[in-house]
Amino acid sequence: MSKVLGSIVAIAMLASSTLSFAKDITIGLSVDQLFESRVGVTDAIKAEAAKQGYKLIEVVADGDAQTQNSQIQSLVTQEVDAILVCAVDQNTIERALIGAKRAGIPVVAYDRALPDSRAVDAFVGPDSISDGLAAGQHMVDQLKGLSGDIVVLELLGALNDQNGIDRSKGFNDALKQLPNVEIVAMPTDWDSARALAATQNAFQANPDIKAVFAATDTQIPSIETVLTDIDKMKSVGEEGHVVVTGVNGSNDGYEATRKGFADGIVVMDLALTGQTAVHLATALINGEKVEMTNVIPGSFYTSENIESNKATIWGAK
C-alpha cells in the first residue's frame, strides 16, 4: 500500500513539476548595442522580468544587423515565449522576426519603432517628437525677446535613427514660432567627438550662435568645452549665456543643467519603458490584445527644478 502511495506521490510531484515547468516563461531579449541609456532600459526589463519570475535570455548585437538577425533566429530555435527587440536595422532583421511570427512567438519592439515590420506585435518607446518639441519650446521661451536674426545650432543624432529624426522634427516644429530664426543643423551620428568638432566649426562660422540643441544630452560637455575655448561659458541668467537644451537624461545632462550651464533637458522614462515592454510581452503571451504603439513622453526639467527631481532621472548619480 505504502508503495502505491509512494508512487502516487511521486507521479503527483512529477506532474506538478512538469506543470510548473510548462508555466516557466522565457523571454528573449535582443539588444542592438550597449551604451548608457540602452543599459538603463535593459536593466529595467531584467528587473521586471525577474519580478514576474520569467527567465531571460539576453543577446547583444554590437551594432551589427546581421549578427542581430542570427541572434534572433537562435532565440526562435530556443523556443522562447516572447522576443523583446531593439533593432539595429529594421530591414535586415525582418526575416528573423517573421521566423518568430511563424513559430508563434510574439515580438515586442522597444525604444526603436519598426513601423514597416509585418512581424512586430507591439512597440514601446519614447515619444521623440514630443521630447524634441519640449526641448524646443523651452528654447523658444528663452529666445522670444531677442530682436534681429537668431542663429541656433542643432546637433543631430544619427541620420538613420528614427528617434534622432523625430527629436529633430519636434525641435524644428517648436522653433517655427520664432519668425527670425536660422537653424544650422550638424550631423553627429550620436558621437560626442563629432559633436565637438561640429560645435567648434559652427561657432567659428557663426560666432553669434544664441542657442544649441543636443539630440542627446551626453554631448552637452562637448558644447561646454567649445564655449570655454572661445570664452563664452556663461551660466543661465548671466549676460551672453548661450541657451542649451537636450534630450536623454544622462548624468552629463543632469550635471550640466544642475550647474546652470544647460537650461534644461528632457528626461526619458527608461524604467517605465522597460516595465511596459515586459507587460506587453506578458499580455501577448496570454493571448490578450494590446495597443500596437505605446509611447512614453519624457519630462522636461530646468536648471531650477532638476535637483529636486534627481530621483526620477535615470542617469543622475
Partner 1 sequence: MDRFKQTFSSKKWLAIALATLALGIALSLVSTAFLTFSNIQSVLVQASVTAIMAVGMTFIILTGGIDISMGAILFFTSSLFAKIMVETGSYSMAFTAAIGCACLLGAVNGLLVVRFKIIPLITTLATYTMYRGMAIHLTGAQNIPVPREMGFLGNGKLMGIPVPILLLAIVFVLGLYLLNKTRFGLYVKAIGNSEQSARETNLPVNWVTILVYVIGGLTTGIAALILLARVGGLQSGIGIGIEFTVIAAVVLGGTKLSGGSGTIVGSVIGAVFLVLIDNGLNLLNASPYIYDIVKGVVLLAAVIIDKVSFERQAKHLLEQKALRIKSTSGVA
Residues making contact with partner 1 (CB under 8 A): 33-36, 38-39, 62, 156, 159, 184-187, 191-193, 196-198, 200-202, 204-207, 218, 221-222, 224-225, 228-230, 250-252, 255, 315
Please name the residues in contact with 92: beta carbons below 8 A apart, sequence gap of 6 or more: 65, 66, 68, 69
Measured distance CA(251)–CA(124) in Å, rounded: 23
Q: Which is nearer to partner 1, 38 or 167 (CB)?
A: 38
Minimum separation from the CB atom of position 15 to partner 1 (A): 43
Q: Which is nearer to partner 1, 38 or 112 (CB)?
A: 38
Measured distance CA(89)–CA(155) in Å, rounded: 22
Minimum separation from the CB atom of position 222 to partner 1 (A): 5
Q: Which is nearer to partner 1, 38 or 241 (CB)?
A: 38
Minimum separation from the CB atom of position 225 to partner 1 (A): 5
Q: Which is nearer to partner 1, 188 or 294 (CB)?
A: 188
Helices (H), the chain: 2-23, 36-52, 65-77, 90-102, 128-143, 162-175, 192-205, 220-229, 251-258, 270-285
Q: Which is nearer to partner 1, 26 or 33 (CB)?
A: 33
Measured distance CA(65)–CA(99) in Å, rounded: 16
Minimum separation from the CB atom of position 186 to partner 1 (A): 6
Q: Which is nearer to partner 1, 117 or 218 (CB)?
A: 218
Beta pairing, strands 55-60 & 293-296: unpaired
Minimum separation from the CB atom of position 192 to partner 1 (A): 4
**Taking a C-beta distance cutoff of 8 angstroms, is the pair 244, 212 a contact?**
yes
Instruction: Return the bridge partners of 152, or none.
Output: 183, 211
Minimum separation from the CB atom of position 65 to partner 1 (A): 16
